[in-house]
Amino acid sequence: MSNWSHCCARSLPCRFEWQPAAQVTAGLLVLGLLAMLALMASAWPRPALNLAVCIAGLLAVLQALQWQRGAPLAFVVDRYQARASCDGIELEQLLLIQRCGVYVLRWRLAGRQRQCVFLPGQLPAAVISELHQWPRTPAPFHKGSGGGTIA
């Protein structure tokens, strides 16, 4: 996990770090292996099957390597001043979501949505508490949704 995480002093910002987890890398490789096995169990003709299995295996390895080589991200969250930053860059629309024990931290940066996944035990309880208390702003309506009007 991280070598530094500091949180919960009333006047100090909360600091924590995200790093790629080896468990996620292993999961990506296992999913690639399962995709290869599913292809081999299919009724594809042999020449197309060989090519598809090779492509699935190569894509799984490339995705796992790309994930593992991801640079660590240093977050600073100050909910009293309603400011959050990642590696010194201000973040917009910070949101912490919990799904099946896994925490997903989402934010907008330069108009694009980004996210980090934290496995159980990767975030200290003080950081989770601080992020749950982050001021939330309502998400804008999607342009194609009719603007939220009731017909």
Give the pLDDT confidence of 70-114 residue by residue, as tens digits: 889 999 988 888 888 999 898 888 888 888 888 888 988 888 898
pLDDT beyond 50 at 144: no
User: What is the distance of C-alpha 99 from the center of its chain?
Assistant: 12
| Contact (CB, 8 A) for 67 and 59 | no
Q: Which of 148, 97, 149, 147 is nearest to 123 (CA)?
A: 97
Tokens encoding 122: 């990767």
Q: Residue 41: its pLDDT value, please?
A: 93
Strand order of the sheet with strand 102-109?
92-99, 102-109, 112-118
pLDDT beyond 60 at 12: yes
Give CA angle at 117 (78, 97), nearest 5°. Answer: 65
pLDDT beyond 50 at 150: no
Quote the pTM value. 0.67
Q: Which of 74, 82, 86, 87 is nearest to 130 (CA)?
A: 82
Q: Residue 66: its pLDDT value, please?
A: 92
Q: Residue 7: its pLDDT value, please?
A: 54
| Contact (CB, 8 A) for 130 and 8 | yes
- Stated as kind and residue range, the H or E segment containing 146 is none
Q: What is the C-alpha to C-alpha distance for residues 33 and 37, in angstroms, rounded to an integer?
A: 6
137-150 mean pLDDT: 44
Better-predicted residue by pLDDT, 80 or 26:
26
pLDDT beyond 60 at 8: no
